[in-house]
Amino acid sequence: MDNKTVETISYLARLKIDKDKKEKITKDLENIIDFVAELQDLNTEDIVPLSNPLEKVAPKREDSVASRNRKEAFLSNSPESDQDYFMVPKVVE
Amino acid sequence: MSIRFKTLAELKRLLENKEISSYELVNETFKNISSSKTNSFITLDEEAALNKAKDFDEGKVDGDLAGIPIAQKDLFCTKNLRTTCGSKILENFIPPYDATVVDNLSAAGSICVGKTNMDEFAMGSSNETSYYGTVRNPWDLERVPGGSSGGSAAAVSEGLVCAATGTDTGGSIRQPAALCGITGIKPTYGRASRWGMIAFASSLDQAGAFARNAEDCALLLNHICSHDSKDSTSISDEQENYLDKINNDLKGKKIGIIKEFDISSLNKEVQDSFEKSKKIFEALGANFVEVSMPNIKLSVPTYYVVAPAECSSNLSRFDGVKYGYRAKDVDNLEELYVKSRSEGFGDEVKRRILIGTYVLSAGFYDAYYKKAQQSRRMIKNDFVNAFSEVDVIMSPSSPSSAFKIGSKTEDPIEMYLEDLFTISSNLAGVPAMSIPHGFSDGLPIGLQLIGNYLEESKILNFAHQYQKNSDWHFKTPDLGESS
């Protein structure tokens, strides 16, 4: 874990790390990665990865309309919207 | 009449006998909250709560929990009531719907008085990562209540409410229950709906309850749990009445002690309490069996790959567009995302998003994420094997009693090890609970009971029988002038 890696993953996560915190966060991330690194020595041959403890297949359902359109309710939580849309800064010049 | 420290069952009786009205109960609750020094609540809902109490008093509401004031962790969406998840990024978020758990509890007639403080996005074991300030432990205001459901645990411990909801991703119900001297339970993964719970790590998150004893937890669980078609991992198996088996005999039952949990390294008082608790169960006729769970030592590192990975994915939805905090003075969309997220999230949340992004990124996925998922299966298999031999597994809930505020904030790994005993149950998805069972340095400590899949009734039975033969759950903090 070095400055460059932290910069790359910060970019991927759309986070900007303050200059004065960069050193501490790099060190923290390095320690955490070291801490979890013991997993790499683990013999996991023939072990199927477990992504969900129940291992159930997601149930299927009818594709039917379940609730009414609540456009106003959802738009009202937006920091900026007009009657029909979420508003964001101009994307195309 | 003082309602402080009354159990849910006691308050129900008082209401049924008309010795108190729900209005008085709710009114008194808000009085107690206003003089509290623990910072347990982020948002209160006084007007609505008092109106609901009036409705109950006028005979318009019934149900198992009718007229009883409870608190909701601020991670559950509550319709028309601000839900922050302990974060600045959701400071002004007012959900247009109720979480299923909230819906269920209100259908049972309970009255939500407010939303409890918590670690930001449930990421923390001390409540110190909350944007709304640290919660203080009612037993010692200089100490943490545990986390992430620290506000709920402190509110019940202080006697502000008799019951509160929590969520548990790696120990966030059991560790604060232990540190605050109350009872807390996390059911089997999938038993309670996650719909309307703000997601942290979706394959680990599970809702549960805090109360003063196991019997109250059983009653709460009857309503918190339900099958929900809106949650694709919701369990559809028939649900038991969790009170039915609570008085079962423990004679001949087997309790597993995990060989690989080195209790001798813990503080002497923690060890002594553990031994004394064993004697109580032995006197009730239960037998102890050592079970080997060789992979359980991998739990904390496995968790700190799986949970951040899922968190980085879940928290990508916070972009300042559809809801939540939006940064000002930005020139373009990219900057809007980056600035809103960077200003809206706290340091621990950022750390976990970055770790998650790292372990999922090209070139590292197999080495970390896939490996952790494999080790997760090995841990689950250890539980499956252990439960072929024993009824429940017993361990301390946390390595020590509540620590001083600020004492572990500099070193994230030291904080992560707080969940040493609790994390494995989340990885396997089995139910687990914590009950008070002694003191260390004058502060409460907890005993953890872990059950097999869907055997909530069994751990509640063990806990209730323990509490019928001990008095730790009757102990309450000395609140000095605030009481």
Q: What is the pLDDT of residue B1?
A: 79
Q: What is the pLDDT of residue A64?
A: 86
What pLDDT, in 10s, does the model give residues B347-373? 999 999 999 999 999 889 999 999 999
Structure confidence at residue B483 as a pLDDT band (50, 70, 90): very low
Angle at B213 between CA B448 and CA B175, to 5 degrees: 35
Determine the residue among A4, A8, A14 to mutate to test chain B binding: the one whose Cβ has the most chain B Cβ atoms within 10 Å.
A14
Residues of B whose CB is below 8 A from A51: 203, 373
| Phi, psi of B301, deg, nearest 5 | -60, -35
Q: What is the pLDDT of residue A83?
A: 86
Q: Which residue of A has its CA nearest to B411?
A: A28
Q: What is the pLDDT of residue B274?
A: 97
Choose between A90 and B382: higher pLDDT.
B382
A18 is a domain residue: yes
Average pLDDT over residues B193-198: 98
* Among B126, B148, B340, B440, the one annotated catalytic: B148
Q: Which stretches of chain A drop beneath a pLDDT of 50?
A: none
A60 is a domain residue: no
Verify whether the Cβ–Cβ distance B333 to A73 is below 8 Å. no
Residue B374, class by beta-carbon neighbours within 10 Å (0-12 exposed, 13-18 middle, 19+ buried)? buried
A70 is a domain residue: no
Residue B441 CB neighbours (<10 A)? 14
- Locate tokens 């509110």: which residue? B155
Percentage of chain B beyond pLDDT 70 is 99
A37 is a domain residue: yes
Specify the pairing of strand B69-73 against strand B111-116: parallel
Q: What is the pLDDT of residue A90?
A: 85
| Total domains, chain A | 1
Q: What is the pLDDT of residue A70?
A: 85
Residues of A whose CB is below 8 A from B129: none
Q: Smallest Cβ distance to A48: which of B351, B371, B377?
A: B377
Does the beta carbon of B286 lie under 8 angstroms from any beta carbon of chain A?
no
A74 is a domain residue: no
What pLDDT, in 10s, does the model give residues B144-179? 999 999 999 999 999 999 999 999 999 999 999 999
Q: What is the pLDDT of residue B333?
A: 95
A14 is a domain residue: yes
Residues of A whose CB is below 8 A from B304: 32, 35-36
- The yes-or-no verdict on residue B482 having pLDDT over 70 is no
Does the beta carbon of B82 lie under 8 angstroms from any beta carbon of chain A?
no
Average pLDDT over residues B181-193: 98
A24 is a domain residue: yes
Verify whether the Cβ–Cβ distance B372 to A14 is below 8 Å. no
Verify whether the Cβ–Cβ distance A44 to B372 is below 8 Å. no
Is B52 catalytic? The answer is no
Q: What is the pLDDT of residue B72?
A: 98
Average pLDDT over residues B15-43: 98
Distance CA B285, CA B440 (A): 27
Verify whether the Cβ–Cβ distance B347 to A49 is below 8 Å. no
What is the complex's ipTM, to 2 decimals?
0.95
User: How would you write chain B as a 3-class SS string?
Assistant: CCCCCCCHHHHHHHHHCCCCCHHHHHHHHHHHHHCCCCCCEEEECHHHHHHHHHHHHCCCCCCCCCCCEEEEECCECECCECCCCCCHHHCCCCCCCCCHHHHHHHHCCCEEEEEECCCHHHCCCCCCCCCCCCCCECCECCECCCCCCHHHHHHHHCCCCCEEEEECCCCCCHHHHHHHCCEEEECCCCCECCCCECCCCCCCCCEEEEECCHHHHHHHHHHHECCCCCCCCCCCCCCCCCCCCCCCCCCCCEEEEECCCCHHHCCHHHHHHHHHHHHHHHHCCCEEEEECCCCHHHHHHHHHHHHHHHHHHHHHHCCCCCCCCCCCCCCCHHHHHHHHHHHHCCHHHHHHHHHHHHHHCCCCCHHHHHHHHHHHHHHHHHHHHHCCCCCEEEEECCCCCCCECCCCCCCHHHHHHHHCCCHHHHHHCCCEEEEEEEEECCEEEEEEEEECCCCHHHHHHHHHHHHHCCCHHHCCCCCHHHC
Q: What is the pLDDT of residue B481?
A: 57
* Among B73, B186, B253, B458, the one annotated catalytic: B73
Distances (CA, A) of A93 to A89, B176, B230, B319, B320: 10, 52, 41, 21, 21
CATH number of the CATH domain containing A23: 1.10.20
Does the beta carbon of B63 lie under 8 angstroms from any beta carbon of chain A?
no
Verify whether the Cβ–Cβ distance B304 to A32 is below 8 Å. yes
Domain that holds residue A10: 1-44
B244: left (phi over 0), alpha (psi -120 to 50) or beta: alpha
Structure confidence at residue B384 as a pLDDT band (50, 70, 90): very high
Does the beta carbon of B417 lie under 8 angstroms from any beta carbon of chain A?
no
A81 is a domain residue: no
- The yes-or-no verdict on residue B2 having pLDDT over 50 is yes
Is B193 catalytic? The answer is no
